[in-house]
Amino acid sequence: MQRIGVFVCWCGSNIAGTVDVAQVAQSAAAMPGVVYAKDYQYMCSEVGQNMIKQAIAEHGLTRVVVASCSPRMHESTFRKTAAAAGLNPYLVEVANIREHCAWIHKDKAEGTKKAIALTRAAVAKATLNAPLVAGESGVEKRALVIGGGIAGLQTALDIADAGYAVDIVEKSPSIGGKMAQIDKTFPTLDCSACILTPKMVDAATHENITLYTYSEVESVSGFVGNFEVAIRQKARSVDAKKCSGCGLCAEKCPSRKAKSEFDEGLRTRGAIYIPFPQAIPNVPVIDRDECTYFKTGKCGLCSKICPASAVSFEQADEVITQRYGAIVVATGFDMIELDKFGEYQYGQHPDVITSLEFERLTNAAGPTGGKFVRPSDHKKPKKVVFVQCVGSRDTSGRGKPYCSKICCMYTAKHAMLIRDKYPDVEASVFYIDVRTPGKNFDEFQRRAVEEYGVQYIKGMVGKIFPEQDKLMVHGVDALSGETVVIDADLVVLASATKAKDDAEALGRMLSISTDTHDFFTEAHPKLRPVESHTAGIFLAGACQGPKDIPETVSQAGAAAAKAIGLLSKKKLVTNPCVTTVNEALCSGCLACEKICPYGAIAAKTIELTNNGVKETRVVAAVNEALCQGCGGCTVACRAGAIDLKGFTNRQIMAEVDAICF
């Protein structure tokens, strides 16, 4: 018979408010095998933990049940407590009477009844718990960072500085990401390129960092400490080793139809191109969909004029397989498409642009060379209207219900920059609310209004009508209740941010979850903000939710610290809850082998003596290093020969029985 101790936590008033904890402890004391039951304010506190340790020693407890918060929260705490008292940590069970009981039921009598039932189930399960010993696995001392924007670069630099090898996989031909496209950054008005390019160079020249640009992650397998990743390096059609980066090919390419992704389509580029002057690597890439040679077999001009003979039309995609100990996802964000927002005339009228296009328009290296002119007739606009929350905080289904977080600040920045350079230009901003919670943010926005005279109008724009060379912006001033009409020359839309279109697919590949808007979900919103639910995979930057640059950089540092912590471990403790085969029952049908997603089960021949006759038989054998403990095979087994440690058939049945008591 087991000697079970039950510890009921009040969690202050969190549990004690709706559950009669004393009664739970009293009922628990009468449950089979329970020799000690106690309730206490905070079981997770040092005093509470000492109480458990003491009881283990004093009462010779062989099993511990803690009725408290979710095991996802404190199971590991109580396991450590038990281990410190000399009890195998897997002999601890947690009954979740907070999240699954106290917090969802208002009626105290009902809540208490349910808490007792949950505790009874945990006691029943604990009775059958077996001591488990965790195995060990090694850690590959190399990290993978997916995404080469500011988040990825910062993460990679921090990990590399700690002495570990890092590979950056970037989808586009150059690292830099969205930050490279931005002209100035709020609230300091630093030149974005000036603070980013040194980081890009640092990453490119760091001895521990390898860049895979124009590359994508193709498949991921393995587990924490031992991921195996296949990276597809797309054919650049230019030999990076030979290319000197002179740019002659890009200059002479006769095809000029493709729109420059970097300049947000505001100018065209050649079929062979370097995305932007500071691109790293400074090696052109041929866009095979646009290239005349690839389309018709004629041309080949770039190949002829290249002084280094670096152009290689035959180059093929290359798949590189590499092992990693940790993976950081830093894939960033995109802006939403505005095709559902017909009222703003975006796409219909060239002078209605998005904020990111505006960044390029005002950038000295941008399509206009920094001259402030509007796209349609290259005249300087006199009145500029900014519309905030285009698709943000939108519950109509056209946009996104969340706040994109960065728009209030960059719109204030845009308006301020215009008024600073061209005091004769009028700038108006339509807004729902101005949200400026950041260091020096509110001061910045106030400066835009007070010092630079930017006109802020609280209200949304109903419709924009093009009239001759003007854009008539019809809006409502919600404060006065009057309609406002502005004859604008340029309209800038602060479109909402969204997760990358392929975020969900990447999430599936990595088995990390995404929220309803396809942003990656962190393991805990407050306490584990840079970890994913999957061990060894971390998150940095706007792929986890809308973020500005300082937040992204600090999250990148945090993700790097987590990755470094993992890589610095000599050994990792593996999950001991793996399957075992009862060879006496196994018929060797290997139905289990077929369904195992990890290839952890294989046939094994055993020798046995049957009535004095030696014979051999085939049975299933589990590779504990590969088994992840899903338990799918246990159900497939016809003979019931496979069982999952920690979640055995008998344990779950006992829980069912205890709940139905």
Partner 1 sequence: MLLEEKTSQEQAFEPLIVAFCCNWCSYAGADLAGTSRLQYPANVKIIKVPCSCRVNPNFVLRAFQKGADGVVIAGCHPGDCHYSTGNYFTRRRFTLLMNMLDFIGIEKERFTVDWISAAEGSKFAAVMNGVLEKVHKLGPNRKMRDKRWKR
Give me the residues that bind partner 1 (CB under 8 A), please.
70-72, 96, 98-101, 103-107, 110-111, 113-114, 117-118, 121, 507-508, 511, 513, 515-516, 521, 533-534, 577, 595, 597, 628-632, 634-636, 644, 647, 649, 652-653, 655-657, 659-661
Backbone angle region of 378, left / alpha / beta, with phi > 0 → left and psi within -120 to 50 → alpha: left
Nearer to partner 1, 116 or 150 (CB): 116
CB of 70 to partner 1, least distance (A): 5
Nearer to partner 1, 105 or 242 (CB): 105
Cα separation, 49 vs 78, whole angstroms: 7
Candidates 461, 446, 467, 527; CA nearest to 494 is: 461
CB of 221 to partner 1, least distance (A): 9
CB of 649 to partner 1, least distance (A): 7
CB of 14 to partner 1, least distance (A): 10
**By the 8 A CB rule, do 52 and 85 touch?**
yes
Nearer to partner 1, 3 or 105 (CB): 105
What stretches of 253-329 show up as alpha helix (H) in DSSP? 292-296, 301-305
Nearer to partner 1, 100 or 141 (CB): 100
Cα separation, 274 vs 250, whole angstroms: 7
Please tell me whether residue 651 adopts helix, strand or coil conformation: helix
In single-letter form, the type of residue at position 462 comes to: G
Nearer to partner 1, 112 or 208 (CB): 112
Q: Which two tokens stand for residue 615?
A: 């014979």
CB of 74 to partner 1, least distance (A): 12
CA dist list (Å): 625 to 79, 220, 223, 405, 463: 22, 17, 10, 44, 62
**By the 8 A CB rule, do 331 and 500 touch?**
yes
CB of 113 to partner 1, least distance (A): 7
CA dist list (Å): 85 to 89, 415, 493, 558, 646: 10, 64, 62, 33, 20
Half-sphere exposure of residue 404, counting CA atoms within 13 Å on the CB side?
27
Nearer to partner 1, 189 or 652 (CB): 652
CB of 493 to partner 1, least distance (A): 29
**By the 8 A CB rule, do 631 and 647 touch?**
yes
**By the 8 A CB rule, do 544 and 519 touch?**
yes
Nearer to partner 1, 340 or 508 (CB): 508
Nearer to partner 1, 185 or 514 (CB): 514
| DSSP label at residue 90 | G
Cα separation, 603 vs 380, whole angstroms: 76
User: Dmax of the chain from CA atoms?
Assistant: 104
CB of 355 to partner 1, least distance (A): 29
Nearer to partner 1, 253 or 530 (CB): 530
Cα separation, 547 vs 12, whole angstroms: 35
Q: Which two tokens stand for residue 14?
A: 């969190």
Nearer to partner 1, 98 or 562 (CB): 98
CB of 449 to partner 1, least distance (A): 38
CB of 227 to partner 1, least distance (A): 14
CB of 508 to partner 1, least distance (A): 6
Q: Which two tokens stand for residue 546?
A: 């809308």
Nearer to partner 1, 208 or 532 (CB): 532
**By the 8 A CB rule, do 125 and 646 touch?**
no
Half-sphere exposure of residue 6, counting CA atoms within 13 Å on the CB side?
33
What stretches of 544-595 show up as alpha helix (H) in DSSP? 549-567, 591-595
Q: Which two tokens stand for residue 489?
A: 């020359």
Cα separation, 280 vs 152, whole angstroms: 14
Cα separation, 8 vs 85, whole angstroms: 19
Strands 326-329 and 142-146: parallel
Nearer to partner 1, 533 or 604 (CB): 533
Cα separation, 467 vs 611, whole angstroms: 100
CB of 6 to partner 1, least distance (A): 17
Q: Which two tokens stand for residue 434?
A: 């101005």
Nearer to partner 1, 42 or 647 (CB): 647
Strands 352-354 and 490-495: parallel
CB of 131 to partner 1, least distance (A): 19
CB of 602 to partner 1, least distance (A): 18
Nearer to partner 1, 72 or 371 (CB): 72
348 class by beta-carbon count within 10 Å (0-12 exposed, 13-18 middle, 19+ buried): exposed
Cα separation, 8 vs 23, whole angstroms: 10
Nearer to partner 1, 101 or 409 (CB): 101
CB of 272 to partner 1, least distance (A): 38
Q: Which two tokens stand for residue 639?
A: 């003979």
